[in-house]
Amino acid sequence: MCWAEKADNYSALCRAAASDNDNRARNREESSIIADFGRYRQLDRREKDALSGNLTDTATFPALNALLMSNSHKNKTFATFLAVILGAVGAHRFYLRGALDRLGLIHVTCLPITGLVVGLAPDANGFFTALPILVSAVAGFLQALILGLTSDEKFDAAFNAGTGKKSDSSWVLAVLLVVTMMIGTTTLIGTMARLFDLLSTGGAYG
C-alpha cells in the first residue's frame, strides 16, 4: 500500500472517530437535558415556586441553561425601548428575564390596582385612578436609563452569556436615552406637582 492510500485511510479513520465523538457528545447532552427535566418534575410545589420557573439556573439545571441560553440573545436597544414604551406593565423585564419575573409581575399589578380604584371609588379624581400606572411608568423610565447606560460588556455578561453574540449599540440607543430623559422627567415632575396640588389644596390649581 502506497503512502497516499495510507494517508487516505488515516483521514477516513479520523473522520469516523470525530463523527463518533460528536454523536457521543450529542447523546450526553440529550441525556443531561432529559435528566434536568426529570429533576424539575420531581420537585414539590414549594421548591418549584422557589425557583420561580427559572429553568436556566446554572446550578440546578446546567444542561437546560446551555440549551436555552444558546438561542436567546437579548438586544439592549430593544430592551430599553420596551422599558420606555411598555415599562409600566414590565414588558422589558419579561423580555430579559422571562414571563415569571417578579418585578415584571409587580409592574403588571398596576392594572388591577387601577381597576380597584375605579371600582371602590368611582368618583375619585382621575389622577388617583391613573396614579398606579404613572408610578409604574416612572419606574420603567428609570430602568430604561439603567439598561441604556449599562455597557455592552456588562449587559452581555448579565443577559447574553453563552449566546456567542455580542451587543453593539448604535446612535439609536443614544437618541432613545435622550427621549427617555425628556419623557421620564416630565412625567415625574408632573406627577409630583399634581399629587402635591391635590393633597395640599384639593386641586385649586386645576
Going residue by residue through the chain, which has 206 residues, state the pLDDT in tens, using 9 for 90 and above. Answer: 554 554 455 455 556 555 655 656 555 665 665 565 556 555 555 554 454 444 444 455 555 555 544 457 899 999 999 999 999 999 999 999 999 999 999 999 999 999 999 999 888 888 999 999 999 999 999 999 999 999 999 999 999 887 778 899 999 999 999 999 999 999 999 999 999 999 888 777 66
Name, in order, each residue with C-beta under 8 angstroms of 12's C-beta and a sequence gap of 6 or more: none
Phi then psi for residue 157, to 5 deg, are: -65, -35
Long-range Cβ pairs for the range 166-170 (8 Å, 24+): 167/75, 167/76, 169/76, 169/77, 170/77
Domain boundaries in the chain? 3-68, 74-201
Helix axes 76-86, 171-201, angle to 10 degrees: 20
Q: What are the distances in angstroms from CA 57 to CA 52, 100, 140?
A: 10, 14, 26
Q: Name the pTM for this structure.
A: 0.65
